[in-house]
Structure 1
């Protein structure tokens, strides 16, 4: 199966974003550490991921990540609904983050992703 694209998105809590910005790297959220990889979503998957796994949480942010900067650490694997999701089998370096911003929605109610 082909890879959907070079940019993927990571939903982070405010604390996790601060860790990434201050340390220059992000080791993963508790679920990432438990599963052995950092869960990512494509542009088309991010809103569903947010609604399914982060419902009711506040102070959430989205980081746009250039997967090409991560090389072989990125694996596209079948997950929710049989779709391919990008997983990072390494820490996420700040150098791969193209943009980040708070979770926000446009006037039509769609998730507004940070401009990558």
Structure 2
């Protein structure tokens, strides 16, 4: 199993859980795919896009369950990032964890099982 991660505010994620699938954020819709990160990319993604934001969830996903709709494509600094072309089925989600905001505005990843 290759675990990939989605960072999402709690409210839209809880709504997606009620609906049974996640269609992505406004940024995802604009780009035509749902953005994910690998464990190694999480800290950089949080720093670049989510600094000082509270109320975030870290969604762990079994990337193998997404099939051909998941593609690894060049993004930040040419690194390959996972992108999902389609909706995220809740059956692929393996864990949902609250991200704690540190006083310095960063997020605490140390206690998470990555």
Q: TM-score, normalised by structure 1?
A: 0.86
Match of 2:109 among 108, 111, 115: 111
| Cα distance between partner residues in 2 of 1:76 and 1:37 | 12
Against the structure 1 CA distance between its residues 110 and 13, is the aligned structure 2 distance closer, same or farther, given a 3 Å change threshold? closer
1:34: which partner in 2? 30
| Cα distance between partner residues in 2 of 1:60 and 1:113 | 15
| Cα distance between partner residues in 1 of 2:24 and 2:56 | 15
Q: CA RMSD in A?
A: 2.1
1:6: which partner in 2? 2
Unaligned 5+ segments in structure 1 are none
Q: TM-score, normalised by structure 2?
A: 0.87
| Cα distance between partner residues in 2 of 1:113 and 1:35 | 31
Question: Counterparts of 1:1-116 in structure 2 under 5 Å?
Answer: 6-104=2-100, 111-112=109-110, 115=113
| Cα distance between partner residues in 2 of 1:87 and 1:15 | 22
